Each structure stands twice: as structure tokens, then as C-alpha cells.
Amino acid sequence: MKIWGDNPRVFGVYNHTNTVGKVQKTENVASKRDGYKISSQAKDYQAVMKALRDVPDIRQDKVREISERLESGQYKVETRDISDKIISKLLGKAD
């Protein structure tokens, strides 16, 4: 069967499937929010990380002590010890 031209039955089927009914009333939906709870381990970790951030990178008391000993001539380091440390670091050996 061949259909020529515009067939009103075919258009009627397509028009019927594209219609959307109107909504009479919408109900209020309570919005739910995501929540979170920090574990005690996470709180401990957070406290440790804060304490580490507060510690200075350079220990000023140690620097001051060594500087004073150097100036007074009391701080002596064997050159052999220094060279051994440098070589062991270069070779990847641990102390």
C-alpha cells in the first residue's frame, strides 16, 4: 500500500503522542542536605598537622648554640667525619 500526500491519520497519531497533560498542583518537597561527621581519627590527624605546621623549619636555639660555639672556638668538627658523611650520602648509604 502506498500513501501519497499528507495523511491526516498519521499526523493525528504523532500529534497525540506529543501532548503533555497539565499539572494541577505541586507538592512542597523538603530539601535534604548532605551532612558530614568528622571521625576522631581525622580530628587527631588535623591536630597533628596543625602542630607540625606551627613548628619552625629552622631550630633557632640550635643555630644560636652552634654559632656561639663556633665564635668561641669550642665547636670542632673533624674533616674526616664531614667527608665520610658526604661520600656516604652520594653513594646512597644510610648512617
- Cβ-contact 75, 69 below 8 angstroms: yes
Which of 5-9, 23-27, 51-55 shows the highest mean pLDDT?
51-55
- Position 46 pLDDT exceeds 60: yes
pTM to 2 decimals? 0.34
Map out the domains of the chain as residue ranges.
39-95
Residue 33 CA to residue 83 CA, distance in Å, equals 63
The DSSP line for 4-20 is -S--HHHHHHHHHHT--
Residue 78 CA to residue 61 CA, distance in Å, equals 23
